[in-house]
């Protein structure tokens, strides 16, 4: 039987009840079937996740359960209660996966989105097939390190994978494009807000330089293309299997925006490939040619080059956003003050200063 749960129930009790609902309602297995197994509950800043398996060994079926949460940075790490913002996230993700199942056309590239199996609204859960493969973050990092030591095979595979991603995204964007003018004056306040927050956290001179740069952008409209963008387009949301097939996991919310916004969001997650590793502390950054391969593949599909002005603008936005997030993450560490300052100056600030310098 399905155990009753309420807002005071532990995460483990909620997971057990939800797993049984998934087995019964999504996979068609009776709730008391002892062949059901639920994997470990994992969490990040925006979701709880766990796998559910049913069936005999020779016919085992596995799905992946995700409970979106709007913000676990500052809130207690509990599945219940479910807020309105949590529900919007789940609905947006499920709707995005439905649209992508119909409109993402990259089978010939072996680049696909995970398949939506169903939803359990009572628990705000989105259920997908359990995709095969290893996280691209780890695969790409290994390939890039081997490239540095002369491995041509891994260098070529890495660049080819990035190019395929670019082509696939370009095809999707091409289905939804409309011409529109971008107004810098309307977008500038958000960037200046990031600058102000970062200025209060760092002694770097770059935030003041960026503020002047934003002010110099003026108010003249910039020609651009609006398209359907994917908020979850992120290296961390990609799996690669042994045949180098690529599966994207979390499209997030879709919205009409300038295509350069998707490009910048994805490339920033590429540039922080070594974040959190000792290699990052050595100022190691991923292959610039792989980034170029992604951009070339994208523009090949679109048939129209990216706007250099918009590309730089949205890269600037992503750099500032990630700089701010890095300081938020650092504030959650219970390290001695001197360690925090060393990490802030030599690990965080220097990386983002280099990214800003690249913009010219």
Q: Which DSSP string do the residues of 181-202 spell out, in sequence order? A: EE-HHHHHHHHHHHHHHHHTT-
pLDDT at 128 over 70: yes
Q: 66 and 41 in contact (C-beta within 8 Å)?
A: no
Segment 254-298, tens digit of pLDDT: 999 999 999 999 999 999 999 988 888 888 999 999 999 999 999
Segment 81-102, tens digit of pLDDT: 999 999 999 999 999 999 999 9
Q: 90 and 65 in contact (C-beta within 8 Å)?
A: no
Looking at beta carbons, which pairs linking 183-191 to residues 24 or more positions away fall under 8 Å? 183/219, 183/221, 183/222, 184/217, 184/218, 184/219, 184/220, 184/222, 184/313, 185/218, 185/219, 187/313, 187/317, 188/214, 188/215, 188/217, 190/317, 191/316, 191/317, 191/320
- Rama region for 28: left / alpha / beta (φ>0; ψ in -120 to 50; rest): left
Map residue 171 onto helix, strand or coil: helix
Segment 29-69, tens digit of pLDDT: 886 666 788 999 998 878 999 999 998 777 788 999 999 99
Where is pLDDT greater, at 1 or 301?
301
Residue-level length of the chain: 360
Q: Is the dihedral of CA 258, 260, 263, 268 positive or negative?
A: negative
pLDDT at 4 over 60: no
Segment 161-219, tens digit of pLDDT: 999 999 999 999 999 999 999 999 999 999 999 999 999 999 999 999 999 888 877 78
Partnered with residue 325 across adjacent β-strands are: none
What does pTM read for this prediction? 0.93
Q: Which DSSP string do the residues of 269-285 spell out, in sequence order? A: HHHTTTTTSHHHHTT--
**Pairing mode, if any, of strands 246-248 and 111-113?**
parallel
């Amino acid at each position: 039987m399905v155990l009753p749960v309420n807002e005071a129930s532990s995460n483990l009790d909620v997971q057990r009840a939800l797993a049984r609902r998934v087995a019964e309602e999504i996979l068609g297995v009776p709730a008391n079937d002892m062949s059901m197994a639920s994997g470990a509950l994992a969490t990040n800043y925006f979701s709880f996740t766990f796998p559910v398996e049913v069936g005999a060994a020779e016919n085992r079926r596995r799905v992946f359960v995700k409970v979106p949460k709007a913000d676990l940075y500052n809130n207690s790490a509990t599945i219940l209660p479910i807020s309105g913002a949590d529900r919007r996230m789940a609905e947006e993700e499920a709707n995005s996966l439905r649209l992508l199942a119909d409109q993402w056309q990259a089978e010939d590239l072996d680049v696909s989105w995970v398949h939506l199996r169903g939803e359990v609204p009572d628990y705000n859960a989105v259920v997908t097939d359990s995709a095969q493969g290893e996280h691209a973050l780890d695969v790409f990092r290994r390939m890039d390190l081997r490239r540095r030591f002369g491995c041509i095979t891994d260098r070529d595979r890495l660049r080819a994978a990035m190019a395929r991603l670019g082509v696939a995204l370009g095809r999707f964007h091409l289905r939804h494009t409309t011409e529109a003018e971008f107004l810098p004056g309307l977008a500038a306040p958000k960037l200046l807000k990031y600058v102000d927050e970062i200025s209060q956290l760092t002694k770097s001179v770059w935030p003041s330089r960026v503020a002047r740069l934003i002010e110099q952008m003026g108010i003249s409209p910039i020609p651009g293309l609006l398209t359907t963008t994917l908020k979850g387009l992120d290296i961390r949301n990609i799996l690669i299997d042994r045949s180098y097939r690529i599966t994207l996991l979390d499209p997030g919310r879709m919205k009409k925006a300038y295509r350069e916004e998707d490009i910048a969001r994805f490339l920033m997650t590429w540039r922080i490939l070594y974040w959190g590793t000792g290699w990052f502390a050595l100022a190691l950054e991923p292959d610039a040619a792989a980034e170029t391969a992604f951009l070339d593949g994208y523009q090949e599909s679109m048939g129209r080059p990216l706007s250099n002005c918009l590309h730089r603008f949205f890269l600037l936005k992503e750099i500032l956003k990630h700089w701010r997030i890095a300081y938020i993450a650092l504030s959650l560490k219970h390290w001695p003050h001197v360690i925090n300052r060393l990490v802030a100056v030599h690990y965080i600030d220097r990386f983002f200063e280099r990214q800003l310098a690249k913009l010219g």
